[in-house]
Every structure is written in structure tokens, then in C-alpha cells.
């Protein structure tokens, strides 16, 4: 049993379970059954049990899973050991909101560096971070051991910045601009594309209504 034998969808779902379990902890829940966790994550109970079974036996038969233990196990599997530093590039509307979002630190992430090209923004301190000029940005990021950059620059400049970061050997980019899809191998990129999310949501919501109507009509 190697990592390659585990369905990639199982790995993806671990992140969903992780999030759900942190919420359950906050609510004070101590034990959760595969059935309950499945409802929350919108999957089947069998999937939940099978997913965990790839990694060990984390539950107690007749009882369920201890929320805290399960969370620790997932944390170990996913290697969420220590707080992770990330860098932010682009301190505009989105970047500013992110810098003011103190909750990231509770979730194990810290924006340690922030960069902007605009001289009027350089030097300002937002949250606990001072905005720096983009000169030598790649070096500063890499020398601090940071693997992930949040990219919040205008659509038009995003591809250029992304490519230059890729050249510096960065591992991953979370971009708020769409269209940074085609990237060299070796760098992972995910785009937070709100318009597409809204479009998806609306499609599924409308489909659901249409199906419900059809069922009523016979």
C-alpha cells in the first residue's frame, strides 16, 4: 500500500473532513459517526469509512470517531505539522482584505511578506506586515523558505508575475486572477475564480429546481 494506491479523490476529501472536524471541535462535539460526517461533507457514509481505512483504523465500532483524534490523524497524514509562512503579491482591494484577516494564523498560515509595485503602497504597515517593493521579491521569498505565494495583482499583470515566480523555483501560487492556467510544470497553481463559482452554483441550483418541478408534474 503506497501513496499511489490511494484514490486522489480520497486525498481531496481529507481536506474537507479536516475542515468539518475543526468546525465540530469549535461546537464542542467529541464524537462523530461516519454517517454524521458524511452528511456534513455531502458524501456517503461508506465513502467516509473507506477513505479512512486506507490509513488505519481510527474509529471505535459501535461508537464512531473521536473528533480530536481523527483530526490529529488527518493532520499527520496531510503533514499539517507546523504553521506555514506565505507571501502576498499585490496589496490592492483583495490583498488588503487578506492582510487584515487575522484568522489565517488560527488556521496555520501566516502572511509573512507583502509586495506591491506601487511606490505609494510600499512602506505602509497593514496588519502586522510592512509592504515592500517588488525589487528582489523572488529572492526574499525563497530565502525565507516560503513555498506559496498569494497573487492578488490585476488580471493583466498576473501571468507575468506568475511566470517570473515560477522561474525562481516557487512551489505554488494561489491566484485571484483567472487565466493563469497554462503554467510550466513544477509549479502548482490554483485560481480562485469567483465568477465561475457563481456560475456553477447557479447552474446546479437551477437544475435542482427544474428537476423538483418535473417530479411534481409527474
Ligand X SMILES: NC(=O)c1ccc[n+]([C@@H]2O[C@H](COP(=O)([O-])OP(=O)(O)OC[C@H]3O[C@@H](n4cnc5c(N)ncnc54)[C@H](O)[C@@H]3O)[C@@H](O)[C@H]2O)c1
**Residues of this chain that bind DNA (CB under 7 A):** 7-10, 33-35, 43-47, 49-50, 52-53, 57-65
Residue 118 binds which of its own copies, ligand X, DNA, none (CB < 5-8 A, kind-dependent): ligand X
3-state secondary structure of 32: strand
Quote the least distance from Cβ 38 to its own copies, whole Å.
11
Residue 55 binds which of its own copies, DNA, ligand X, none (CB < 5-8 A, kind-dependent): none
Residue 116 binds which of DNA, its own copies, ligand X, none (CB < 5-8 A, kind-dependent): ligand X
Three-class SS string for 106-144? Answer: HCCEEEEEEECCCCCCCCCEECCEEEECCCCHHHHHHHC
Nearest by Cα to 175 from 188, 104, 134? 188
Residue 153 binds which of its own copies, ligand X, DNA, none (CB < 5-8 A, kind-dependent): ligand X
Phi and psi at 92, nearest 5°, equal -105, -140
- If the CB atoms of residues 20 and 38 are measured against ligand X, the closer one turns out to be 20
Nearest by Cα to 34 from 17, 55, 19, 10? 17
How far, CA to CA in Å, does 83 sit from each of 25, 105, 111, 148? Answer: 19, 8, 11, 13
Q: Does 212 bind its own copies (CB under 8 A)?
A: yes
Cα angle 24, 69, 57 (rounded to 5 degrees) comes to: 115
Quote the least distance from Cβ 79 to its own copies, whole Å.
7
Q: Does 120 bind its own copies (CB under 8 A)?
A: no
Binding site for its own copies (CB under 8 A): 3, 11-12, 15-16, 18-20, 22-23, 26, 39-42, 78-80, 84, 86, 93-94, 96-98, 100-101, 103-104, 107-109, 147-148, 150, 155, 171-174, 178-179, 181-182, 186-188, 190, 192-209, 212
Amino acid at each position: 500500500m503506497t501513496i499511489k494506491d490511494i484514490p486522489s479523490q480520497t486525498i481531496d476529501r481529507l481536506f474537507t473532513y479536516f475542515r468539518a472536524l475543526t468546525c465540530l471541535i469549535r461546537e464542542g462535539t467529541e464524537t462523530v459517526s461516519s454517517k454524521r460526517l458524511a452528511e456534513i461533507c455531502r458524501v456517503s457514509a461508506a465513502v467516509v469509512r473507506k477513505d479512512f481505512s486506507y490509513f488505519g483504523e481510527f474509529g471505535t465500532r459501535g461508537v464512531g470517531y473521536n473528533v480530536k483524534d481523527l483530526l490529529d490523524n488527518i493532520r499527520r497524514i496531510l503533514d499539517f505539522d507546523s504553521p506555514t509562512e506565505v507571501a502576498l503579491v499585490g496589496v490592492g482591494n483583495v490583498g488588503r482584505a487578506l492582510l487584515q484577516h487575522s484568522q489565517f494564523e488560527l488556521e496555520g498560515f501566516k502572511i509573512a511578506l507583502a509586495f506591491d509595485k506601487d511606490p505609494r503602497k510600499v512602506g505602509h504597515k497593514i496588519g502586522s506586515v510592512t509592504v515592500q517593493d517588488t525589487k528582489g521579491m523572488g529572492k526574499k521569498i525563497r530565502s525565507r523558505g516560503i513555498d506559496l505565494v498569494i497573487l492578488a495583482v490585476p488580471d493583466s499583470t498576473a501571468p507575468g508575475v506568475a511566470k517570473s515566480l515560477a522561474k525562481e523555483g516557487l512551489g505554488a501560487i494561489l491566484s485571484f486572477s483567472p487565466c493563469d492556467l497554462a503554467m510550466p510544470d513544477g509549479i502548482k497553481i490554483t485560481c480562485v475564480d469567483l465568477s465561475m463559482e457563481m456560475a456553477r452554483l447557479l447552474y446546479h441550483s437551477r437544475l435542482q429546481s427544474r428537476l423538483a418541478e418535473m417530479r411534481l408534474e409527474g
